[in-house]
Amino acid sequence: MDENCYEERKPLIFAVDDDEINLLLISRILGEFTEVRTAQSGTEALNYLAENSVDLVLMDYNMPGRDGLETLKYMKHSRAEMKNVPVIILTGDTDLDLETEVFRSGAVDFIRKPFVPMAMQERVRRVLQNEYLKRNLRREVDRQTKLAREQAAATARLFDETVLALAETVDAKDPYTKGHSLRVAEYSKHIAALAGRTSRQQYDVYCMGLLHDVGKIGIPDEIINKPARLNDEEYGIIKSHTTIGASILKKIVDFPQLTLGAHSHHERYDGKGYPQGLKGTDIPTEARIIAVADAYDAMTSCRSYRGIMEQSRVRYEIERGIGKQFDPVFAAIMLQLIDEDKDFQMRGQLTENEA
């Protein structure tokens, strides 16, 4: 292996053998492309490894006191810095059972004595090269994982910003509905949270709430902004914003459920809504949440034909719609929010946040 494959420093080899001659041979054989440190017992080796990092250990099998395999087994059950150091066992024993035990104990290779310089160099180079590649593969995996997370976060931010910009574009068609989509999204998310929905479900209904009126992009301004009551033909056109919205949003193939809020937020619990006349729990859950949030914001916002309703009137209308216009569970949560909002500040706080 070309030594240029390593980092700029030479790999550090730690040779452990009770024979000084063997240690001298190892230093001469490997010293050309590595730095060699030595120890003469297993205990000395473990003390050194506890304080120092090395790239490879060459460990004699047959040493007095703690032998090579005992030392190796201790390393493999120690802390990560020592556990992950590759070990080559040095042995003059030709017993095949020993070879099996060496590998089972966690060694990466073994080298026979007496040493054959070229063979030792190639075995050591191969192990060092494999460790280098493994180490850099981990680094590359970590780098790519970090990059993927950053890209995913950037994509999510872009999606959120695009959805919000689209919602603001819709609201801009009517001066009386500024911030309507954002408030409906926030109310919907709050209702979903109190209903025990997961964080992901809360996020989904929030996005659906932001885009529930996106179909109004396709409705003429003179109908949306008409100060007087709509005639039947105009009302039919305004109702089409549900199907237009669903048609627009279905093109976002990675978020297919995004269409649910736009398409079904005007369905009624009693089946008298539009566009399909769905009833009860046949109406998507998200649409039932958005329906009550949408109604609350409509009543607590100025319109061209009226001002903001009083809190008591808003509460009465929602309570009256339970089981008719609204899902009883989500309407009850909306009533809870109203009751907790004694100073009628819920909408005002959101309006301040928009500024």
* CATH number where 56 lies: 3.40.50.2300
285 assigned to some structural domain: yes
Indicate if 35 and 115 belong to the same structural domain: yes
What does the buried/exposed string (b/e) look like for 62-83 if buried means 16 or more CB atoms within 10 Å of the residue's CB? Answer: ebeebbbbebbebbeeeeeebe
| Same-domain status, 128 and 245 | no
Which long-range contacts link 146-151 to residues 24+ away (Cβ below 8 Å)? none
Per-run averaged pLDDT (10 residues), the chain, 355 residues: 55 95 95 94 93 94 90 86 90 82 90 93 93 82 88 88 88 78 94 96 96 94 85 93 95 91 97 96 97 93 70 92 97 94 65 44
pLDDT the model gives residue 87? 95
Candidates 262, 272, 264, 268; CA nearest to 331 is 268
Instruction: State the pLDDT at residue 302.
Output: 67
Residues 188 and 262 in one domain: yes
For residue 72, CA distances in Å to 17, 54, 99, 183, 320 come to: 13, 14, 14, 65, 78
Q: Is 73 a catalytic residue?
A: no
Indicate the number of domains in the chain.
Answer: 2
Q: How many residues does the chain have?
A: 355
Residue 289 shares a structural domain with residue 196? yes
Do 306 and 185 lie in one domain? The reply is yes
Tokens of 51: 């304080």
**What letters, b where the CB count within 10 A reaches 16 and e where it falls short, cover 26-42?**
bbebbeebbebbbbbbb
**Same domain for 211 and 321?**
yes
Question: Tokens in use for 143?
Answer: 């780098």
**Does 109 lie in the same domain as 217?**
no
Question: Is 45 inside any structural domain?
Answer: yes
Please give the Cα distance from 330 to 311 (Å, whole number): 18
Reading the block at residue 347, the tokens are 């909408």
**229/29 Cα distance (integer angstroms):** 97
**Residue corresponding to tokens 């593969």:** 137
What is the reported pLDDT for 354? 45
Residues 99 and 178 both lie in one domain: no
> Does residue 73 fall inside a structural domain?
yes
Q: Which of 97, 128, 143 is the last residue of a domain?
A: 143
Domain boundary among 143, 160, 194: 143
Do 97 and 214 fall into the same domain?
Answer: no
Q: For the whole model, what pTM was predicted?
A: 0.63
Q: Which domain holds residue 71?
A: 3-143
187 within 8 A of 296, measured Cβ to Cβ: yes
Same domain for 178 and 84: no
- From the list 216, 226, 324, 342, the catalytic residue is 216
> Helix, strand, coil: what percent of the chain each, to 5?
60, 10, 30
- Between the alpha carbon of residue 213 and those of residues 101, 218, 311, the distances in Å are 71, 10, 24
Q: Check: CB of residue 120 under 8 Å from CB of residue 109.
A: no
Query: Quick one: 94 exposed, middle or buried, by C-beta within 10 A (0-12, 13-18, 19+)?
Result: exposed
